[in-house]
Amino acid sequence: MDARFLATGQTGVLISGGGVALDRVIADFAAGTVEALVLENGDCDLLVIEGQGAILHPAYSGVTMALLHGSLPDALILCHLPTRLVMRRQSVPIPPLPEWIALYEGLLRPLHPARVVGIAVNTFGMEEAAARAAVDAAAAETGLPATDVIRYGCEPLLSAVIAP
């Protein structure tokens, strides 16, 4: 499979050597910058685009929206940190996973139908039993494949992304 990674943040650019630090692009041009990068790199079987922020985070939602509008993805992997109950550096509660999924899919529906196809669970700092329980809970709550790619590998998420 010809798979490519499109970095959209400082860490991704540092690792891959290319892409864009999207939060440094003037807001009016952010979606177009992403679109141009997708068009330049999209002639492959799988284009994996680094996500940024969250659509409900007051500080980062603009970058997230530009990324979504510029890339118009077919499939999304929702990242979940089960130990976090509010948005980072905010008092905004994090909604349950099914609500997150509905928000992302609903937001994209008028432009390009996209589906959340899996949940990437960040279990950093959790004991093994709690980590396994968190991954299993995310899968049960959403009916989607879930994994912590560092602990358990990415196979469930890759399979979900490339499934017809």
36 Cβ partners below 8 Å, 6+ apart?
A: none
DSSP-assigned beta bridge partners for residue 93: 86
> Could you tell me which of 55, 48, 37 has the C-alpha nearest to residue 92?
55
**pLDDT tens digits, one per residue of 67-118:** 999 999 999 999 999 999 999 999 999 999 999 999 999 999 999 999 999 9
pLDDT tops 80 at residue 150 = yes
Rg of the chain over Cα atoms, rounded to whole angstroms, equals 16
Mean pLDDT estimate for the chain: 96
DSSP-assigned beta bridge partners for residue 116: 76
Percent of the chain with pLDDT over 70: 100
31 Cβ partners below 8 Å, 6+ apart?
A: 65, 66, 67, 69, 70
- Which domains, from first to last, does the chain contain? 1-72 (3.40.50.300), 74-164 (3.40.50.300)
Percent of the chain with pLDDT over 90: 98
Amino acid at 31: A
92 Cβ partners below 8 Å, 6+ apart?
A: 56, 57, 58, 86
- Tell me how many helices (H) and strands (E) the chain has: 7, 5
Q: Is the pTM of this model over 0.85?
A: yes
Q: Quickly state the pLDDT bin for 144 (edges 50, 70, 90).
A: very high
Q: Quickly state the pLDDT bin for 62 (edges 50, 70, 90).
A: very high
Taking the mean position of all CA atoms in its chain, how far away is CA 1? 21
Q: Quickly state the pLDDT bin for 53 (edges 50, 70, 90).
A: confident
